[in-house]
A = this chain, B = another copy of it.
Amino acid sequence: MVNYPNGKKHPSKDLVTTGREKRKINYGRRGMVFEEAIDASNQYYLTEHLAVIHKRPTPVQIVKVDYPKRSKAVITEAYFKTPSTTDYNGIYKGKYLDFEAKETQNKTSFPLVNIHAHQVEHMRAVIEQGGICFLLIHFAVLNEVYLLPFVPFYHYWQRMMAGGRKSMTLTEIRNDGILVPNGFRPRLDYLAALSLSDESEEK
């Protein structure tokens, strides 16, 4: 343990640390850091020949592009489009895999307003085709990530559509999901969590 005599908070509370001293990575309070942890894990899975999973680029409607002389094209007017799918997809053990990653500052529940209806529709179509589908939910304040398979998620989604509560409680997510190990390589081993989820389904 390192002491910080100047009274600063332990740096790993605020920063993503790399290097040998601290093996435990804080995957942070901001969505970006969570996303970086997923990307780093995907890079690890790719390098280790375990899976090929990529983040889909942010969909953008490009309106105007300038082509300045002797330099590369500049997009000068564009707009964000609503995504019609999830953020991540790829292949794992020959199977199609698809997931959405979301972060909440909430400590006790995950508000379903974070998920769009067309994303649910997309995930349902993927399940129908025999794909693997789940949510990765980061409770930023608790610094816990859960893998929630599509089937229980869809149960809570339908509860909302039937007029029920507009969120899933942390207890529900803990019961139906799997805590994703937070480590060094990969930083966020969600495929390990997925294999636990498959095993528990097979039992």
Total interface residues in chain A, CB < 8 Å: 40
The answer, yes or no, to whether A200 is at the interface (CB within 8 Å) is: no
Residues of B within 8 A of A80 (CB): 72-73, 75
Which residue of chain B has its CB nearest to the CB of A98? B91
Q: Is the CB of B52 within 8 A of A58?
A: no
Out of B75, B85, B93, B126, name the residue touching A75 (CB < 8 Å). B75
Residues of B within 8 A of A58 (CB): 57, 60, 62
Q: Is the CB of A129 within 8 A of B51?
A: yes
Shortest beta-carbon distance from A102 to chain B in Å: 19
The answer, yes or no, to whether A21 is at the interface (CB within 8 Å) is: no
Contact with B along A164-188 (1 / 0, CB 8 A): 0000000000000000000000000
Contact with B along A62-86 (1 / 0, CB 8 A): 1000000000111111111100110
The answer, yes or no, to whether A131 is at the interface (CB within 8 Å) is: yes
Residues of B within 8 A of A125 (CB): 46, 49, 52
Q: Is the CB of B130 within 8 A of A93?
A: yes
Q: Is the CB of A77 within 8 A of B76?
A: yes
Out of B52, B75, B85, name the residue touching A79 (CB < 8 Å). B75
Q: Is the CB of B60 within 8 A of A78?
A: yes
Which residue of chain B has its CB nearest to the CB of A73? B80
The answer, yes or no, to whether A109 is at the interface (CB within 8 Å) is: no
How far is it, in angstroms, between the C-alpha of A96 and the C-alpha of B126 when the chains are bound? 11
Out of B49, B52, B85, B96, name the residue touching A94 (CB < 8 Å). B96
Residues of B within 8 A of A91 (CB): 96, 98, 126, 129-131
